[in-house]
Structure 1
Amino acid sequence: MRLYGLPLLALLIGSFGVQDARASSDDACYPTWNLKRDTLDICNSLPFLSPGNDSRVNLQLLLADAGQASLDGHPLPEDEKQVGYGLVPFPLSRLFDSVPAEETAVAPSADAALAELVARLGLPADAIPAAGESFASGEGSRCRSNNTATAREFLGQLLLTADLPASERQALARGRLALLQGCQWDEAQLAGMLPGDISSAAGRDFAGYLRGVAAFYSGHFAEALQAFRALQDSKQAWLQETARYMLGRNQLNAAQQHAFDDMGYPDLRKVDKAPLKSAEEAFDAYLKRYPQGRYAASAKGLQRRIYWLMSDQQRLAGEYAGLFASKDAAPRGELIQEVDNKLLTTAHPADVRDPHLLAVLDLMQMRHHEPNEERALDSAALQRQKTLFSARPALHDYLLAAWAFYVSEDPAATLRLLPQDVPDKLDYLAFSQQTLRGFALEAGNDWLGAEKLYLQLLPKAQLPLQREQLELALAFNYERSDRLVKVFAANSPVSTPAIREILLRHIAGPDLLRLQVAAPAIPAEERDAALFTLLYKDLLRGHYQNFIDDLALLPTEPSDKPLTASIGYLYGNGMPLTLFQWPGGKGTSGYDCPPIRDVALAMQQDPQPPQALNCLGEFILRNGLDGFPLDRQPGERELGGSASLFEGPLYSRLDGYLKVIGDANAADDDRAYALYRAINCYAPSGYNGCGSQDIPPNQRKQWFRTLKSKYAATPWAKSLKYYW
C-alpha cells in the first residue's frame, strides 16, 4: 500500500486532537490593535518575531527568511473584514486554516482511475463497493490509508504480475475491493471477503498480504506482524518492499494503541516500548535497504513520530533541523503544525540546537510570567546559547534585545543590542530588529525618533504584511504623541481603512471629524463613518446645538445602507445614517415623541423638559443603541485607547429617567413613563441595561409601588407586573 501524502505528515498519525495548550478555547477571533504584546494571542498575530505570536507564526517567519515558507499577502478575507480586521494583526487561522489528514479518504464511487483498473481486470463496475465508513476525522486513524488510492496500487500490481492466473487475479482484486467497506472485521466476515482458493506462488503471496492488511486494519497486530514477516523475501518486489515497510508501521500502531484516549489526547506513559523499539528497527532496516524507496519519505516521517513517542526531544529536534536545512524538503504549513504539536509544546531550550527552533522556544520564554512563576530560561542561559547561533549571530543578538525589552523592561539596553542603521533589504529578521528598535525609542518617549524610523522603513518594506504593520505603528505613534491629525493629513502614509476608522470613532474630536466629512479624496465608507460618529457623539455627549448644525452635513437623501465594521459593528450588523432622521412617534410603548432634531432643540433648555429626556431615551431604546460600539473604548494599550478628544459625558437613558422621576413638576404621563422605563432597565436579569448605575432592589421596588399606586391609571402601570 502506498501512503500518498505521507512525507510531511506521517508524524501526525495519532496527532489530531492534540491541540496547543496555549491556544484559546474560543473559536471566534476579534482584532486587538496592539503591537507591543508579551502574552500569547492566536487571534492577533504580527509579521515580526514577537513573544505574543503563536510559535507557529514565529517559525514561519524564520523559515520565510530561509526561503522555505512564505506569509500570506492576499487580500483581506471577507469574514475577517466583517469583524473589523485589517491585514495586520491577523488570526492564526489565516496562515493555518486546517491540519490536513495524514491519509486522506477518497470516495470510491468518484474514483475513475479505480474503475478503469477494475475494467481491465475483467470485473463488472459494481465490483467497486459503495462508500463504506468514513475515516476523515479523528486521531489520525490507521484506517485512513484503506482508501481507493491504496486499492489502486494493489490492483495495479496484480495487473503487472504475469504469472498470476486470471481467475486468481480477479479473486484477489475482489478481496481488496471488499476491504474498502470498513476497517474492522471478524473471522467470519473475512472468510467471505478474502479469496481462499489461491494456488499459484504469486497468488499466495498476494493473498497473504491481504490477510496482513485485514489484520492490521482490524487492530490484530500480532497476526499482521506474522503475515508481513512471511513476505519479507517475497519474489514479488512490490510485496517485499511494502511488507518491510508495513512491519514498521504495524509495530508503531501496536506501540501506540493504548496511548490515546477517546478524544485523541495522548498519554505517552502508556506507549508500549517494546514494539516501539521494534518499529524503529524496522524503519531503519527499510531505509537502509531502500534509501530511495517508494515509502522512504513516509518511513522518515514515522521515525519522527517514534522519537516523539519515546520523548526523545533531542533526536526529534535534530530531524526537524535536517528538514529545515534540506533544499528538497521545503517545509509547509503541515510540517510547522507537526513541529509545534510534537516538539515546541514540550521541549526545553536545552534540548534544541537548531537556531530556528531554539529562537522560537526562547521567544516563548519571554512571554509574561507571574512574579512567582519560574522561567525555563534566564538571561545567563540565553547568553550561553551564543555558540548555537554561530551561523545566525544577528538572530541571537535580536533575542538578547527582545529579552531586554520584554523581560528586563530596559529600553536603553534594547537599543544598544540592535543595529542602528536600516539595511537596504528588510527580511523578517531585519524587520523585527527595526520594529523592536522603534518600540524601545517610544518606551524612552522619543516619539519623533520612532516616527522617523518607521517612515525610513516604509519604502523598504517589500515583504507581505510589513507595510501594514508599519502603518499601525505610525498610527499608534501619532495617537500617543498627540499628533492624531497626521494620520488624516493629505499625504499620510496611514491608508489602512480599519486603522483610520478606529481613530475616528474613538479618538477624533468634532473638528477633525468635520474635516473628514468635507475631505474630497477619502473613501465613502470613511466619510460616512466620520459623519455618523460626529452626529452620534454630538447628540449623546450633550452637544445639542452642534448636532442641529451638523445635521446640515447629511446628504439630502442619506444612504439607508448600514455602516458596519467602520463604526465598530461585528458580523454585518450595522446602522445607517438615516438614523439621524428619526421621526419620533408613539412606537409600541404608546409614548409620543417628536423627531430627533426637535428633541435636541428641547434638550438645550434649562431645565431640560421631561418629555425631551424621555424621548432621547426612546431614540436610544427604539434604535437599539444601548451599549453601542461607539461607546466602548479600547484598552489603554490598544490603538484608540487614549483619551477621546470629543468632550462630554456619555448620555445614559437611566440618567434621563432619574431626572424625570425626581422632577416634582413633571406631568403624570412623563413621570409614569420614566418610572416604567427605569424599572425595565433591570429586566429581566436584574442588571442595568440602560447605563452603568447600580440601583439597589429596594429602590426599584419603591419605583414599582409608586407607579402602581400614584400612576395606576396609566397604561404603563397597568402593563407592568414585576420589578427586577
Structure 2
Amino acid sequence: MRPYGLPLLALTLSVLIAQQAQASSDDSCYPSWNLKRDTLDICNSVPFLSPGNDSRVNLQLLLADDGRASLPQRAPSDDEQQLGYGQVPFPLSRLFDDAPAADGAADAAVVAKPAAPLAELAARLGLPADAVPADSERFANGEGSRCRSNNPLTAQEFLAQLLAVDMPANERQALGRARLDLLQGCQWDETQLGSLLPGDVQSPAGRDFAGYLQGIGAFYSGRFAPARQQFQALLDSQQPWLRETARYMLGRNQLNQAQQNAFDEWGYPDLRKVDQGALKVAESDFKGYLEAYPQGRYAASAKGLMRRVYWLLNDQQRLAGAYSELFAQPEVADSSADLAPLIAEVDNKLLVSAHPADVRAPRLLAVLDLMQMRHHDAGESRALDWAGLQAQKPLFADVPGLHDYLLAAWQLYVENAPDKAAAQLPQNPPDKLDYLAFSQQTLRGFALEAGNDWLGAEKLWLQLLPLAHQPLQREQLELALAYNYERSDRLVKVYAEQSPVRTPAIRELLLRHIAGPELLRQQVKSETAPAEERDTALFTLLYKDLLHGHYANFVNDLALLPPEPSTKPLGASLGVLYGNGVPLTLFQWSGGKGTSGYDCPPLRDLAVALQQSPQTPQALNCFGEFILRNNLDGFALDSQPRSHELGGSQTQFEGPLYSRLDGYLKVIDDAQAVGDDKAYALYRAINCYAPSGYNGCGKQDIPPAQRKRWFRELKTQHADTAWAKSLKYYW
C-alpha cells in the first residue's frame, strides 16, 4: 500500500500544538515600522536573524544561506496594502500561508504517480466504467492518519501491480474490483470486509494480493493485530512489490497503533497517552525496512515516520538530528522544492518545545537561541544563560560566524550592551551579503544608533545598499535609513532628489506623522513625487493646518488644491485602515444645515472666521460640525506611532491638536454666546458621551455630574430649542 503524500515530506505537518509560541490569538495584523524588537511579532517579520521573528522565518533565512531555501520576494497582497504594509516588515502569512494544513496525525508517504489513470487501468483489467467510484463517492478525508492514503493514487499502484503479475484473469479482475470497492469507505467490521474481498482466489500470487487487501482493510479499520499478521505473512512473498510494501506497512501499522489514543477530537496530542511499547516496535520496523531497502520506494516516507516516532517518544535530540540530516539532502537544495511544510513541521514538532541543551545541529540551535533572547519579565527564568551560550561554541565549528552573531545578539537584546555587541561583529561588510552577514551588519548599525552615532549608522546603511542583492534586504535598508533620518532630525533627506528611500508606505507614513508645513508643501509641489504621495502631502497639510489652529495657513494652502481635486479616496497612505478612505474634496466642504439643523458656512469661510476671532461661538460649533459630519473624530492623522517605531518622534507641526469638544466647552463657558449657539454646544457636548459614557469627541474626561448639569441647563434655559426637545438622556 503506497500512501499519498508530498515529495520529501513523509511526515508533513501534524498538529498546531496549543502552546506553540509562534501562534497569535488575534487574526488581525497591522504593520509596525520597527526593525529592532525582542518580542515575538508574527505580523512584522524582518529579513535578518531577529528574536522578534517567528522561528520559521529565522530558520528559512539560515536555510537560504545554506543553499537549501530562498526567501520569496512576494508583493504585498491587496489586503496587506490596504492595511499599510510594504515589503518590510511583512506578516508571517506572506511566507507560510500556503503550507498544508495540520490534520493531527498525518503520516503519508511519497507516491510516484503511476503513468496510467485509474479508469484506464480498470478497463485493462476488464472492469466496467462504473467500477471506478466517482469523485463525489470517493472516501475523501478518513479518520486520523490512516484513511488519507486510501485514495485513487494508491489504488492505481495496486491495479498496475496486478497487471504486471502472472495470475488468472478472473482473479486479477476480482482483486481489482475489491480494491476499487475499498475506495468508498475506510472502516469495516470483519463481516463487511469479507463481503468486499474475493473468496475464491487460488493462485499463489492471487492469494498474496488477497492477503494484502485483508491487511489494509484491517489496518484502515483500526484492527492492528490482524493487520500485522497479514503483513508479516507477506514478508516471504514471491512478489517483490508485496514484500517491500508489507515490510513498510508493518512499521506504519505499529505507529498507528501506538498513537491511536494520543489525539483528542480536535487533533491535539497528549504524548502521555502514546503506547510506548508499540512505538518501540514501530521504530524497529522502520529501521528494518530502511536496512533492507535503503533506496526503496518508501525510504523517504519511512525516514519521515521515524521523525514522527522521535516526536512521539519526546526524543528531541534524535528528532533534531533527523531534521539536520534531512536538510543536508541534495534534493532539499532544489530551488523548486517547497520547504514551507517542512519548516512548519520542524517548528511544530521541535522548536516549540525543545530545550537548547537537547539540540546539537547548529542552525536549529541558533533558532532556539534567538527564541531565548526574547523579552522576559523580571524574575522570569530563561532556558539559556550567557555561560550556556558561550559553551555552545564547539557545536558551531562549521559556522563560527553564526555563534559570534548569537553572542552579539545576546549582548544587544538581553544585556543592552551595544558596545560589547559591536565588538563581536565584523567591522567591514563582505563582498557577498548573505543573510548572516546582513544580520551582522544590521546589529552593528543598531549598536551605532544606540550610541547616538547616527552619521556612522547612516554611512553603514548606505554602504550596504549596493551589496543588498538578496530578497528584502534593500527594503529593510530603506526602513533603516528612514528611521535614521527621522531620529537624527534630518527628515528632509528622505525626500531629497535621488533619495534611496523609495518605499511609498515609508515616505507616506513620515509625511502624515512627522513632516512639518514646509516639507509637506515641498512634496505637494514636487514634479518627481508620485501622485498619491503628493495628494497625501496636500491632505495632511490642509488637515493639520486646521486641526492645529493654523487657520491663515489653511486659507493660503487651499490655493494648492486643484480646481477639481481627485475624488479618489486616500486610505492606507493616510493611515485609514477601514472604510473607503477620504478624498481631497473634503476641503471643499460646503457647510449648510445638515441633519442637525445648525447652519454653517463653507469651510474656507469658516477658517477665515476662526482666523479673525478664534472664540466665535458659531465658528467653533461649525468647526465641530465639519469634524462630525465627515467622521473625523479620532481620525488616523490624529494618532502617533509608538515612540520606538518609525514616525514615533515629535511631529514638526506646532500647536495642540484640536477636538470638537474643545470648541463646545468654549461656547458653553462663553457668557456672550447667544441662545441657539449655547444650546447647540450643550446638546453636542452631552452627545459626545452617548451611548457608552466615554468621550467620542476628544480626550477630555468630564464627570457625569457635570454632564448632568449640562443636561439640566439645556432642558431648562433652552427648552424651546429643537435640540433640547430631542434629547431625553445624558450619559
From 655, 661, 666, the equivalent of 2:673 is: 666
Map 1:407-426 → 2, pairs under 5 A: 407-426=414-433
Letter in 2 for 1:532: F
From 342, 354, 360, the equivalent of 2:349 is: 342
**Alpha-carbon distance between aligned partners in 2 of 1:607 and 1:336, rounded to the nearest angstrom:** 62
Deviations 1:79-133 (A, max 9, x none): 211111110011111111133255799xxxxx99222222222222221223247
From 361, 367, 374, the equivalent of 1:360 is: 367
- Check whether the contact 1:8–1:334 (CA below 8 A) recurs between aligned residues: no
Map 1:89-488 → 2, pairs under 5 A: 89-100=89-100, 102=106, 113-130=117-134, 131-132=136-137, 135=140, 141-163=145-167, 165-330=168-333, 332-488=339-495
SS of the residue 1:3 aligns to? coil
Query: Which range moves more in the overlay, 193-202 or 588-597?
Result: 193-202
- Check whether the contact 1:362–1:399 (CA below 8 A) recurs between aligned residues: yes
Query: Which range moves more in the overlay, 251-260 or 186-195?
Result: 186-195
- Check whether the contact 2:513–2:637 (CA below 8 A) recurs between aligned residues: yes
1:516 matched to 2:484? The reply is no
The alpha-carbon deviation at position 388 of structure 1 amounts to 1.0
**Alpha-carbon distance between aligned partners in 2 of 1:318 and 1:72, rounded to the nearest angstrom:** 27
Deviations 1:249-288 (A, max 9, x none): 1110111111111221111111100110110011011111
Letter in 2 for 1:464: P
- Structure 1: any 5+ residue segments left out of the alignment? 106-110
Question: Residues 17, 401 of structure 1: CA spacing in aligned structure 2 closer, same or farther, 3 A cutoff?
Answer: closer
Deviations 1:8-48 (A, max 9, x none): 33234643566733421112211101111011111111111
**Alpha-carbon distance between aligned partners in 2 of 1:247 and 1:562, rounded to the nearest angstrom:** 64
- Check whether the contact 1:610–1:670 (CA below 8 A) recurs between aligned residues: yes
- Check whether the contact 2:142–2:186 (CA below 8 A) recurs between aligned residues: no
Query: Which range moves more in the overlay, 703-712 or 470-479?
Result: 703-712
Letter in 1 for 2:131: A
The alpha-carbon deviation at position 555 of structure 1 amounts to 0.9
- Structure 2: any 5+ residue segments left out of the alignment? 110-114
Letter in 1 for 2:100: P
How many residue pairs were aligned? 717
**Alpha-carbon distance between aligned partners in 1 of 2:298 and 2:177, rounded to the nearest angstrom:** 25
**Alpha-carbon distance between aligned partners in 1 of 2:128 and 2:601, rounded to the nearest angstrom:** 80
Query: Which range moves more in the overlay, 583-592 or 122-131?
Result: 122-131
Question: Residues 722, 125 of structure 1: CA spacing in aligned structure 2 closer, same or farther, 3 A cutoff?
Answer: farther
- Check whether the contact 1:40–1:53 (CA below 8 A) recurs between aligned residues: yes
**Alpha-carbon distance between aligned partners in 2 of 1:405 and 1:21, rounded to the nearest angstrom:** 22
The alpha-carbon deviation at position 572 of structure 1 amounts to 6.1
**Alpha-carbon distance between aligned partners in 2 of 1:607 and 1:337, rounded to the nearest angstrom:** 61
**Alpha-carbon distance between aligned partners in 1 of 2:223 and 2:206, rounded to the nearest angstrom:** 23
Query: Which range moves more in the overlay, 512-521 or 112-121?
Result: 112-121
Question: Residues 216, 539 of structure 1: CA spacing in aligned structure 2 closer, same or farther, 3 A cutoff?
Answer: same
Letter in 1 for 2:644: R
- Check whether the contact 2:12–2:341 (CA below 8 A) recurs between aligned residues: no
From 708, 722, 730, the equivalent of 1:723 is: 730
**Alpha-carbon distance between aligned partners in 2 of 1:555 and 1:137, rounded to the nearest angstrom:** 64
- Check whether the contact 2:13–2:344 (CA below 8 A) recurs between aligned residues: no
SS of the residue 2:695 aligns to? coil
Query: Which range moves more in the overlay, 510-519 or 674-683?
Result: 674-683
Deviations 1:345-374 (A, max 9, x none): 111111111111111111111111112011
- Check whether the contact 1:13–1:141 (CA below 8 A) recurs between aligned residues: no
Letter in 2 for 1:668: G
The alpha-carbon deviation at position 6 of structure 1 amounts to 4.4
**Alpha-carbon distance between aligned partners in 1 of 2:411 and 2:483, rounded to the nearest angstrom:** 22
Deviations 1:541-562 (A, max 9, x none): 1111111111110111001110
- Check whether the contact 2:4–2:148 (CA below 8 A) recurs between aligned residues: no
- Check whether the contact 2:12–2:107 (CA below 8 A) recurs between aligned residues: no
- The TM-score with structure 2 as length reference comes to 0.95
Partner residue, 1:45? 45
Letter in 1 for 2:231: F
Question: Residues 664, 429 of structure 1: CA spacing in aligned structure 2 closer, same or farther, 3 A cutoff?
Answer: same
Deviations 1:416-470 (A, max 9, x none): 1111112111011111111100000000111100000111110111110000000
- The TM-score with structure 1 as length reference comes to 0.96
1:691 matched to 2:698? The reply is yes
**Alpha-carbon distance between aligned partners in 2 of 1:20 and 1:325, rounded to the nearest angstrom:** 26
- Check whether the contact 2:237–2:243 (CA below 8 A) recurs between aligned residues: yes
Partner residue, 1:5? 5
Question: Residues 716, 198 of structure 1: CA spacing in aligned structure 2 closer, same or farther, 3 A cutoff?
Answer: farther
Deviations 1:176-195 (A, max 9, x none): 22222232223443344333
**Alpha-carbon distance between aligned partners in 2 of 1:256 and 1:322, rounded to the nearest angstrom:** 25
**Alpha-carbon distance between aligned partners in 2 of 1:141 and 1:473, rounded to the nearest angstrom:** 47
Letter in 1 for 2:492: V
**RMSD between superposed Cα atoms in Å:** 1.9
Deviations 1:184-243 (A, max 9, x none): 223443344333333332222222222221222222222222222222222222112111
Letter in 1 for 2:572: A
Partner residue, 1:57? 57
Partner residue, 1:677? 684
- Check whether the contact 2:615–2:666 (CA below 8 A) recurs between aligned residues: no
SS of the residue 2:332 aligns to? coil
**Alpha-carbon distance between aligned partners in 1 of 2:603 and 2:183, rounded to the nearest angstrom:** 70
Query: Which range moves more in the overlay, 198-207 or 551-560?
Result: 198-207
**Alpha-carbon distance between aligned partners in 1 of 2:587 and 2:52, rounded to the nearest angstrom:** 42
Question: Residues 661, 3 of structure 1: CA spacing in aligned structure 2 closer, same or farther, 3 A cutoff?
Answer: same
**Alpha-carbon distance between aligned partners in 2 of 1:53 and 1:260, rounded to the nearest angstrom:** 29
Partner residue, 1:82? 82
- Check whether the contact 1:19–1:341 (CA below 8 A) recurs between aligned residues: no
SS of the residue 1:368 aligns to? coil
- Check whether the contact 1:562–1:576 (CA below 8 A) recurs between aligned residues: yes
**Alpha-carbon distance between aligned partners in 1 of 2:650 and 2:242, rounded to the nearest angstrom:** 74
Partner residue, 1:108? none
Deviations 1:571-609 (A, max 9, x none): 563110001101112222222211111111111233522
SS of the residue 1:181 aligns to? coil
Letter in 1 for 2:43: C
